Structure 1
Amino acid sequence: MHDVMAGHVERGEVPGLVTLVSSRGEIHVDAIGRVAFDGPLMARDTIFRITSMTKPVTAAAAMILVEEGKLQLDDPVDRWLPELADRKVLRRLGAPIFDTVPAKRAITLRDLLTFRCGHGMIPVFPDRYPIQRAIAEAGFAPGPVFPSFPPDELMRRYGTLPLVFQPGERWLYNAGSEILSVLIARVAGVTFGEFLRDRIFAPLRMTDTAFFVSRDKQHRFATAYGRHHATRQLTVFDLPDQGRFSSSPVFENGAAGLVSTAEDFNAFAQMMLNGGTLGNERILSRPSVELMTKNHISADEKRESQLFLGATRGWGFGMSVFRGMNERDDAQGRFGWDGGYGTSWYSDPRSQLTGILLTQRLMDSPQPPRTITDFWNSVNQLVAN
């Protein structure tokens, strides 16, 4: 694995990376390359923008509130999110945004967790539908720059949009986790970041996981790069000391906002593998973890979003779950998710194995880059052996 992954650094595809493989108490961490092309050496405690690997953490936070009886999976969220009450739904995907029908029912917490709330990304490029233009004008266009509105303004903007599909009808990526950020904060009565810190990060000793990197830690924060569309050269996208993650954000984004390290995130992964516990700390009950890590969607419900899940993966709560179709048998049940800035995490309950890859090169498409596929090919060899 080291030789394969070091090849990506040597060819200049990424400035550096960190891999972590954990199995039954043994942890192997490999730091290769540099935190920036002209920066210091990569280290096992280098901090990365984990983007969509935030989504499973947000789902876990929601399930804490369910266990406390403050939320119910199938109750309407209108009480806490009045902006989503009395929704209108597009008559068809290509309809003008004013051509709507009433929603058949209210949006529930389960809809948000399973990404079937009616809001979300339509993976058709370039844009061809009126609703795609309306989503972009509202500030929710797909891309590497995430919404930065205060929570109430974010919900006001969602409230101006019709639902693309009826609640519970189709899987659409991303929006569910953004909306959950606001729901959790309103129900808990604290900021979303405070809730995550107190209920997940502090108990699991995830000391470097947050919504921004404080000044005293920025020397450990990797520079993010993206490929310039014209020159095809890698250029700086986000700097550690003056970028989007260098100060407290106006919106603590539960879809893509966290920074973390390999060992911090492994603590979360091990908690999930252990059925909600790590050491003496219990974050969730085993039934909650089982609910989060089983597939909840049908092939028909994800048909507009095959670009993200393909044929082999379904969706649990805030993360994908391998279903085993056209996939190696031993991958069935594996759960986790990737991040659009070049990160990946999956845990395998049957082998009790976790793999985490952290880079800071933005993905060029929803399809995983070679760094991620090579990493998982190497991990799969460990499972096979």
Structure 2
Amino acid sequence: MRKITLRLLKELPEKYITSGLILIIILFIYGILGSYFIMDLSFVDSVYYSVITMATVGYGDYIPTTGIQKVFATTLALSGVALLAYVFNVMLTSFQERMILFSRGARKMKVIEKMDDYYIICGYGRVGKVVLDELQRRNQNVILIDKNEEAVEDLEETDSLIILHKDATDNDLISKLAGKKCRSVILCTGDDVINIFISLTIRETNPNAWIVSRASKLENVSRLKKAGANKVVSPEVIGGQDLYFESARPHLLNITVRHELDEIFDEFEIISKHGCTLENIQYHLPGIETPLVREIKKNDLTDAKEFKNYLKTHDDKMESIKNLYKIVNNIHSHVISGPDAETFDKLLEDLEKNEEILGINLTNKEISEITRKEIEK
């Protein structure tokens, strides 16, 4: 019922105002012809009589006397009042609705202006939903743009999620939002042509914007890159989760460290203190280039404390982790997501005080060389 009501309100202004105006014209023609043939008035007087009768002014200069004239005058007056009242009521309702929408839009823009930084998601489908879930899990501010109100009706707006029922191809809107405070624009619409157009629009006014786009067809990957997208992801190859990682690439840090098992909780405390998220831990087995990856996706210190208590009460689990650390010679890597480069600098400064940092953003091959040297010792 709610969907039907919203649809009717949306169609009301254009559809019914046009129909009302057409009916008024038809009624006006009826009034002229009736005045001319039934009231025996001239053409000019017929126009005059039709107007004052439809408007119920009735100056009394032309008075119907016969039965048919009275019937004609009555039908013209009643129809005119009904139609004019209908049209003006619809126009007023339309104006009020647009004022409400304008007011809501203004309030949302004020909330966006107060945001320190945010991600923009264009299109909320199956892929867009996964991306939004990943961003919200990391407590990120998100602006979701989708002109289909039904697609986002189940979402609830918060201080960190703003939903705009707008067309993402609107030049002024997307150009304004994709400014300095925008960390990344993620194009999740299923139409590659729309994604290309949005990329071109953003790149015209924001040359430094970080744009990640979905490509529904593999052959459009190169076109999207030419249009200005920094990264193009095809759901045929990887999913929405990887869209988030690509969009956050300027805000990801991969550090390779060496420390004892007892220090992992101090390390997590430092990461949490700087508002960063430990995405995963990569254990580098000596002589093997591909690491053993363990997903974490946590930034809450409570999780680390619970895990620490769990190990204390489960000796077999504690022994397994100790053996893992022995196998990798205490060498492992962390993929950490954070707000900006300045935060990463402070994070690294604190980590260096507690553990040995072997390298930053090293390739698996470079790390393999380090572990190989450990074997030779």
TM-score, length basis structure 2: 0.22
From the two aligned structures, give the one with the greater helix fraction.
Answer: 2
State the structure with more CA Rg. Answer: 2
TM-score, length basis structure 1: 0.22
